[in-house]
A and B are shown apart, each in its own frame.
Chain A
Amino acid sequence: MLKIEGLFLELDGRPILRGLELEVAEGEIHALLGANGTGKSTLAYTIMGLAGYRPQRGRIYFAGQEITDRSVTERARLGITLAWQQPASFEGLTIKEYLEIARQSGGTSPTIAECLELVGLPAANYLARTLNEHLSGGERKRVELAAVLAMNPRLAILDEPDSGIDVLSLADIMEVIRGMNRRGITVLLITHREEFARAAHRASHLCAGRVLKTGEPEEVVRFYKENCKRCDHVNEPELEQLEGQR
């Protein structure tokens, strides 16, 4: 469904993505595992086509079409969406309005009330609330997942949906993601939490802007634990050494 070839991106003269290759199959939850600063969020923004994240080299294909030069809106209308790690606040916009916007492209998606219930937020308590007031970080992230459900995209890029979530709720969030996937949404799950990666169908390990390993989650997690956590140079790892272990 998603194929990335030789993606190279510099930000402020500094290489962030360095010849990145990645394939995400239709219908899977694909975890992207990596330490802080390895380019995970940058890759998410580049796939979504955000301003300032146009690759200098490489190609992105979605459902057989090249989308490297497409706008954010065009990509969204093709069926790609992104849930930010730190969602925007949107002064004055109610959760109901926000989800209705997402649902405009949602086709046969659940109702907005159902979307909220699916992420563990009682609709009666949340629909009228605004996004910038009285929502905890965890609640805001759940609303973001509800927006993805309402949009019902073909591919959802979830940028660290587990960050800012209390430990007791992590299993709930993973269940929401599995439910999303059962509804036919392919998920690219960005995380640095091993247990989240293990719950995916496949995983890739990102280091210094390149995918070093793709495979069974357990195998990739082991690779990550054995190598990346011992790396002293998060943004400048000894790639050659790691590549020898692929």
Chain B
Amino acid sequence: MRKAVELDYSKEFAAIARAYEQSGGDAQALRDHRFGSLVVSGNHILGLNKLPGLEIEVEELADGIKAHIEVEPGAIIAQPVHLCFGLLPKEGVQRIISHFKVGPGASVRFLAHCSFPNAVKVQHIMEAEAQIGAGAEMEYNEAHFHGPAGGAEVYPHARIAIAEGGRYRSEFKLIQGMVGRLDIDYEVHLEARATAELLAKVYGKGDDRIRIKDSLYLEGAQARGLVKSRIVLQDRAEAEFAGEAVGAAPFARGHIDCTEILRGTEAKAVAVPKLTVVDERAKLTHEAAIGSIDKKELETLMARGLSEEEAVETVVRGLLR
């Protein structure tokens, strides 16, 4: 079922808008026709707003939606496009199958907020593909809000192809509520002079389980990529970060940067960087820091009068910002 430009001001919309705000989004933007937007609760399309140069086609599935989002070649979408996904019941599945196409020379920024405030047994599955044209720019910022029960399972999987000179930047943030189970799998292919930056920030608590796999395939000359993760773990939370880069072209540059901070003695962190170079002129690097919070940072804040606990909170807040 395809929908035209319209909004459904139902109670469900109001509820999902409230959840959207809980996850840090601006619900007013969902009602403002100056902003491109898509609002989905479960498998219900509650709101949709297209803009000149921005085409959104969406259909409801039995357990989610399928969307095709296309930015015309050369179109500059000045305001961020808001994507609101959520599932309000305690149980259920939401599958988001999306295809993004950003035409050559176009530019677009997405703000995606995903809310599962009551999740006891909820699955959120994102299967995304993105094609970024030559010289085009796409930014995708995704923030999650999960409830306190730890019953969410989130599977953001994406395959992104960036044509020559294109740019892609993504930030995934899950720092509010319990993570539950998170399994990120992003794969980015870069042609000549394309650039990509993948950033993930996650705060694991309780029995949360986190797995992040970000892969860069630097296939064109002078392609550049950065994979960066910032993970804080407490209680019995566990995380595994697998950052991979393949340098397969002259003067390709890739860097993997992982910081995982453990609070307490029961949390567990693993970092597995994997670098593969198949062109001698490519250069890949990685850095990983796993452990407790930097002692000098804590003591500096304590020397300004903060308690140790306040100092820890301050450092963590900055790291996950």
Contact = CB atoms under 8 A, between A and B. Distances in A.
A77 B307 CA distance: 10
A73 B297 contact: no
A158 to B, nearest CB: 12
Contact of A72 (B230, B294, B299, B317): B299
B296 A84 contact: yes
B305 A105 contact: yes
Contacts of B314: 93, 101
Interface string B295-321: 111011111111110000011011111
A195 B296 CA distance: 29
Contacts of B320: 92
A91 B259 CA distance: 11
Nearest to A92: B318
A151 B318 contact: no
Interface string A184-219: 000000000000000000000000000000000000
A151 B305 CA distance: 9
A82 B304 CA distance: 8
Contacts of B297: 88-90
Interface in B255-305: 259, 294-297, 299-305
B306 A88 contact: no
Contacts of A72: 299, 302-303
B318 A77 contact: no
B318 A91 contact: yes
A90 B315 contact: yes
Band of interface residues on A:
20 to 34
Nearest to B307: A73
Interface in A115-165: 130, 147, 151
A194 B177 CA distance: 55
A87 B303 CA distance: 12
Contact of A84 (B230, B300, B305, B308): B300
Nearest to A93: B318
Interface string A19-57: 000000000000000000000000000001011000000
A104 interface: yes
A89 B321 CA distance: 15
Contact of B303 (A76, A90, A104): A76
A104 B306 CA distance: 9
Given A88-B297, A90-B297, A73 B318 contact: no
A68 interface: no
Contact of B304 (A51, A71, A102, A130): A102
B304 A50 contact: no
A237 to B, nearest CB: 29
B299 A147 contact: no
A105 B304 contact: yes
A88 B304 contact: no
Nearest to B304: A102
Nearest to A102: B304
A101 B313 CA distance: 12
Given A91-B319, A92-B321, A93-B318, A101 B304 contact: yes
A71 B305 CA distance: 10
B260 to A, nearest CB: 13
B301 A101 contact: yes
Contacts of B305: 73, 76-77, 102, 104-105, 151
Nearest to B309: A73
Contacts of A93: 314-315, 317-318
Contacts of B307: 73
List of 10 A-B pairs having minimum Cβ-Cβ separation, nearest first: A92-B318, A105-B305, A93-B318, A72-B302, A92-B321, A88-B297, A76-B305, A102-B304, A88-B296, A73-B302
Interface of A: 48, 50-51, 71-73, 75-77, 80-82, 84, 87-93, 97, 101-102, 104-105, 130, 147, 151
29 contacts: A48-B299, A50-B299, A72-B299, A72-B302, A72-B303, A73-B302, A73-B305, A73-B307, A76-B302, A76-B305, A81-B304, A82-B303, A84-B300, A87-B300, A88-B296, A88-B300, A90-B297, A90-B315, A91-B318, A91-B319, A92-B317, A92-B319, A93-B318, A101-B301, A101-B306, A101-B314, A102-B304, A104-B306, A130-B318
Given A51-B299, A89-B297, A104-B305, 4 more contacts: A72-B302, A76-B305, A77-B305, A81-B304
